[in-house]
Each structure stands twice: as C-alpha cells, then as structure tokens.
C-alpha cells in the first residue's frame, strides 16, 4: 500500500493504492490558476504577476491540505518545471512524508495511473 500525490497547475489528486490495485481517493482539488496571457500590451506584465501569485497560492493550499493526509510514505508526481518551486513552499513536516519524486505529464486520476505504470515497469 502506498500513497501517490499528483500535482498539476490545474488540479491536485492524492490517492491511496492498495496491493490488489484498488485506488482510494484521499483528496482532489482544482486550482484557480489563470492560463498564460499572450496579448495585453502594457497589461501583460500585470497578468503575468497575477498568474505567478496564483501559482504560489495554489502550492501553499496543497501544502495545507497535505498536512491532514495520514500517510508517511508519499510518492510525488509533478511536472519538472514546477518541482523545485513546489518543494520550496512545502513545510518540513510534509517534505519528510515524500519519499520519491517523479516527472509526470498528466494530472488527476490519469496521472495516478501513469505513476503506477512507471512503478510496475521498474519491477
């Protein structure tokens, strides 16, 4: 039995995977991070700042919800572009829970299946 946490800019999904392959959802959050803004003239830097602040708040919100998860061994799947930034906003208590970090392209339940396939291919 292990716990997988998938973090994406659109959603966060935490699931407990049993030895028989059953997946139990622990938490599922959706973010309010706006998409990148291509146009805007003088407003473009302002939209970029708003997006960066929303990403920071999103990572902090995940950290707060992760404190309530009663698992000690968490496998983290996250896009490599945001991994360092996400780890910077985590509390020490939550950092100690994470035993492995892998690159993940998908979010939500699809990301959990991708992580499980990665683990099974290593066997």
For residue 67, give the nearest of 46, 92, 35 by alpha carbon: 92
pLDDT for 54: 95
Judge whether residue 60 has pLDDT over 90: yes
Q: What is the pTM for the complete model shown?
A: 0.88
CB 2 within 8 A of CB 73: yes
Fold of the CATH domain 2-121: Nucleotidyltransferase; domain 5 (3.30.420)
Q: What are the φ/ψ torsions at residue 18 (nearest 5 degrees)?
A: -85, 165
Judge whether residue 63 has pLDDT over 90: yes
Collapsing DSSP to helix, strand or coil, 44 comes out as: helix
CB 30 within 8 A of CB 7: no
pLDDT tens digits, one per residue of 33-55? 988 877 777 888 888 899 999 99
């Amino acid at each position: 039995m292990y716990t997988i946490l998938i973090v994406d800019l659109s959603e966060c999904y935490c699931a407990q995977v049993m030895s028989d392959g059953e997946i139990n959802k622990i938490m599922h959050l959706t973010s309010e991070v706006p998409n990148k803004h291509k146009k805007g003239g003088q407003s473009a830097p302002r939209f970029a700042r708003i997006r960066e602040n929303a990403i920071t708040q999103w990572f902090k919100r995940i950290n707060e919800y992760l404190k309530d998860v009663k698992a000690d061994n968490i496998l983290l799947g996250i896009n490599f572009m945001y991994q360092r930034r996400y780890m910077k906003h985590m509390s020490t208590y939550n950092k100690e829970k994470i035993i492995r970090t892998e690159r993940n392209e998908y979010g939500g339940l699809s990301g959990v299946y991708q992580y499980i396939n990665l683990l099974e291919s290593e066997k």
